[in-house]
Amino acid sequence: MFGDYGGVFVFLLSCSAAMVLWRTTFSINDNLVVANGLVALSDGHLHVTTPTYGETLRAPGMAEYNGKAYPRNFAHIVFALPFLWVLETIAAVADIRIALAALWSLSVFATVSVGGRLIGRHEPAHLIGGMLALVSFVASVASATPFPLDHLAYPALQLATIVAAAGCALVLYRLFSHIYSSDIGIAAGIASGVASPALLWATIPKRHVLTALFTLFTLFFLYRSRESDRISMYRRYRAIAYVPVGLTAWLNASEGLVLLGALAIADFATARENGVRTLATVAMGFFVSLLPFFLTNYLIAGDPFTPPRMLDRYGAGAVNTPVTEDLAAVSESSGAGADGTSTSDSSGTSTSDGSGTSIVNTILEGIVGGAGPLLGTVDRALLFTEFLSHGLEAVRQEPGRLYHTFVRSGYLGFSSPGATGIAINVAFLEALPIAGALIAAPVVAVRTVFDTLIRNTSPSLRSSPLFAADIFVAIYTILITLLYIYRLPIHAALTVRYVYPLFPLAIYAVARLSWVRTTVTERPLWLGLTYAGSVLIGGQLALITVVTKGYTADETIQGIALLSLAVTAGTGLWSLAGAFDRTNTSIGAILLGVGSGLATILMCVFAFSFFGPTAKFVLSLLPV
């Protein structure tokens, strides 16, 4: 799974860094729905009967069917269930806060120890890591307070999301260490795990981190399918690439369609062959991946093609009032039956048994009933294409949405109904300054086509595994942007979370640039020292400035965002020079290191300042 010690290091570092920002407070309202859904599933049922978290079941994202309340994001809930079992087992024999402090201390020790092994300094690193772990654990025990949550479902969701975020970093490491070298893989993994919005969203259990993980799995297996010379391995990896599609649909149907569309285009455009056996293997893998999605939908709504998001929004239940069976009975009797058929015809008279008309009606009803799921599928597909058309129209009529989403967000003068708190968002490049290097990507594409024409060779779509991966990333970026751009920017998106999968994909694209890889290979010390200095020294300077000047959270965030844009511009200019074979690796290492450091600082400011002083941290070393 990890590949080698490099993969272990990237995974552990990502987990250790995310746990520092681990809060037990609910940062976003619809976290309540998923957390209550996990409680319900751990109790053995899909519907939520009473709110364990919050005062009411009327939270954003709660659906209603036959009077029962159902959560969404079941893929996330099921993924977090084993983590809940582990936490409950630990809580049965130990104090959970001390156990989590011990987990973090062990993670720090393992991270330092494995890092020392990578640079050939295992014994000193082992000693230093042990001392750090011991000191942090003793301090945590000395300052430990009672754990603020009675039920462990929400911490389990957070822990699962931490692992998913670290998994994204690990997949990037595995991919690039396989394509290029472990140095490139480690750099890409660290950038994803600790120098991107993953550091913030790892402990905010939204679906977006899992969506990114599934997308990266698809990218990884698509690449592996194209590089294999054995037809059996080609078929196997090609089929496995479709498995995350069904899991993504289980999480969010629209995002599953985005992933399917991007994969299908990249897959069939670059496929080596499309024989019957190959297509059957791919279809089988795709169908198996959809089984959890279909089964969950059928158990809830009686229709495998109707996910909870397509049901009515939950609107019954008052404060502290559970959903009762009486309410369910009223709901069932007020409409059509479970099979969707009515009890009388349009004239209000029933048809006599045994007549020819009755037989014809029965046959027609059977045909219509059997076609229902197919018609429902077509309806969902049309709805998805409608979302994409809305996106195209928004880009055409309001191109400023693209600017505010990807370049500069700034202050928003609106809020969502029922939303609380200030509406602060940072744009994509403000949250990930190193993505400024991608301004040179079109230059690379044009030069590649030009060089191909000069050599008088016809480009083959099947000639390179990397070409298939690049097509997938490009198509996915377009589709996910069109899906959400007509709704962006919105209240409390923080770091444009709806297009969160584009952050690790942007890191993939940056690492594909040859001058970036040259900089990482030739100037690793400069890159590492610049990043560490930016975080440690720059972070303290930012803290001193905020305290002495009395800046608010929004002023601090916007100030860092503007500084990030300046670094983004510098990175873009350096990257353009590299595209024309004028690479200065020293300047590149400084820009990439500072940009990564600013991303880390910005995520820390969100965690420590934006969510307010009442935020409670899992690690008691941090202020409560």
pLDDT band at residue 613 under the 50/70/90 scheme = low
The single-letter DSSP state of residue 65 is E
What is residue 544's predicted lDDT score, i.e. its pLDDT? Answer: 87
pLDDT band at residue 620 under the 50/70/90 scheme = low
Mean pLDDT value across residues 541-567: 86
pLDDT band at residue 612 under the 50/70/90 scheme = low
Res 413 pLDDT > 70: no
Mean pLDDT value across residues 133-158: 82
Burial 336-372 (b: 16+ CB within 10 A, else e): eeeeeeeeeeeeeeeeeeeeeeeeeeeeeeeeeeeee
- Residue 220 Cα distances to 169, 170, 379, angstroms: 12, 11, 32
User: What is Dmax (Cα atoms) for the chain?
Assistant: 90
Task: Please provide the DSSP assignment of 341-404 as one string.
Answer: --SS-TTS-PPPTT-HHHHHHHHHHHHHHHHHHHHHHHHHHHHHHHHHHHHHHHHHH-THHHHH
pLDDT band at residue 549 under the 50/70/90 scheme = confident
Res 89 pLDDT > 90: yes
User: What CA dihedral angle connects 408, 411, 417 and 418, to 10 degrees?
Assistant: 110
Res 594 pLDDT > 90: yes
pLDDT band at residue 38 under the 50/70/90 scheme = very high
pLDDT band at residue 334 under the 50/70/90 scheme = very low
What is residue 293's predicted lDDT score, i.e. its pLDDT? Answer: 94
pLDDT band at residue 25 under the 50/70/90 scheme = confident
Res 514 pLDDT > 50: yes
- 334: closest CA among 554, 3, 67, 135? 67
Res 67 pLDDT > 90: no
Across-strand partners of 312? Answer: 64
Q: How far is residue 535's CA from residue 522's CA, in Å, rounded to a whole number?
A: 22
Res 266 pLDDT > 90: yes
What is residue 539's predicted lDDT score, i.e. its pLDDT? Answer: 85
Summarize pLDDT for 449-477 with one digit per residue, the tens: 777 677 755 555 566 899 999 999 999 99
What is residue 475's predicted lDDT score, i.e. its pLDDT? Answer: 96
- In this predicted model, which residue has the larger pLDDT, 338 or 493? 493
- Residue 167 Cα distances to 213, 216, 218, angstroms: 7, 9, 13
Q: Which of 56-65, 238-247, 579-588, 596-605 has the lowest mean pLDDT?
A: 56-65
What is residue 348's predicted lDDT score, i.e. its pLDDT? Answer: 38
Summarize pLDDT for 179-236 with one digit per residue, the tens: 999 999 999 999 999 999 999 999 998 899 999 999 999 999 999 999 888 898 999 9
Q: Which of 232-236, 254-258, 485-489, 549-553 has the lowest mean pLDDT?
A: 549-553
What is residue 378's predicted lDDT score, i.e. its pLDDT? Answer: 57
Res 83 pLDDT > 90: yes
Q: Are strands 68-70 and 63-65 parallel, antiparallel or unpaired?
A: antiparallel
Q: What are the φ/ψ torsions at residue 67 (nearest 5 degrees)?
A: 80, 5
- In this predicted model, which residue has the larger pLDDT, 419 or 331? 419
Taking the model in full, what pTM does it have?
Answer: 0.86
- 11: closest CA among 244, 130, 185? 185
Mean pLDDT value across residues 107-122: 89
What is residue 459's predicted lDDT score, i.e. its pLDDT? Answer: 54
What is residue 342's predicted lDDT score, i.e. its pLDDT? Answer: 37
- In this predicted model, which residue has the larger pLDDT, 615 or 163? 163
Summarize pLDDT for 477-513 with one digit per residue, the tens: 999 999 999 888 776 678 889 999 999 999 999 999 9
User: Contacts for 314-319 with beta carbons within 8 Å, 24 or more apart?
Assistant: 314/57, 314/58, 314/62, 314/63, 314/64, 314/69, 314/70, 315/58, 315/64, 316/57, 316/64, 316/67, 316/69, 317/56, 317/57, 317/58, 317/69, 318/56, 319/55, 319/56
Q: Which of 134-138, 155-159, 175-179, 465-469 has the lowest mean pLDDT?
A: 134-138
Give the residue ranges of DSSP H helices in 2-73: 5-20, 31-42
- 85: closest CA among 164, 163, 153? 153
What is residue 494's predicted lDDT score, i.e. its pLDDT? Answer: 83
Q: How far is residue 429's CA from residue 409's CA, in Å, rounded to a whole number?
A: 10
Average pLDDT value for the chain:
83
What is residue 262's predicted lDDT score, i.e. its pLDDT? Answer: 95
- In this predicted model, which residue has the larger pLDDT, 137 or 248? 248
Q: How far is residue 246's CA from residue 285's CA, in Å, rounded to a whole number?
A: 9
What is residue 435's predicted lDDT score, i.e. its pLDDT? Answer: 96
Q: How far is residue 376's CA from residue 370's CA, in Å, rounded to a whole number?
A: 11
What is residue 387's predicted lDDT score, i.e. its pLDDT? Answer: 75
Q: Is 306 strand, coil or helix?
A: coil
What is residue 146's predicted lDDT score, i.e. its pLDDT? Answer: 73
The neighbour count for residue 26, using CB atoms within 10 Å, is: 17
What is residue 323's predicted lDDT score, i.e. its pLDDT? Answer: 39
pLDDT band at residue 412 under the 50/70/90 scheme = low
Mean pLDDT value across residues 74-79: 94
What is residue 410's predicted lDDT score, i.e. its pLDDT? Answer: 66
Summarize pLDDT for 94-108 with one digit per residue, the tens: 888 888 888 989 999
What is residue 324's predicted lDDT score, i.e. its pLDDT? Answer: 37
Two structure tokens written together for 63: 């659906």
The single-letter DSSP state of residue 320 is T
- In this predicted model, which residue has the larger pLDDT, 430 or 344? 430
Q: In the chain, pLDDT over 70 holds for what percent of residues?
A: 82
Mean pLDDT value across residues 365-373: 47
What is residue 447's predicted lDDT score, i.e. its pLDDT? Answer: 83
What is residue 488's predicted lDDT score, i.e. its pLDDT? Answer: 81
Mean pLDDT value across residues 25-29: 79
Q: Which of 150-154, 285-289, 351-355, 540-544 has the lowest mean pLDDT?
A: 351-355
Mean pLDDT value across residues 324-346: 36
Res 368 pLDDT > 70: no
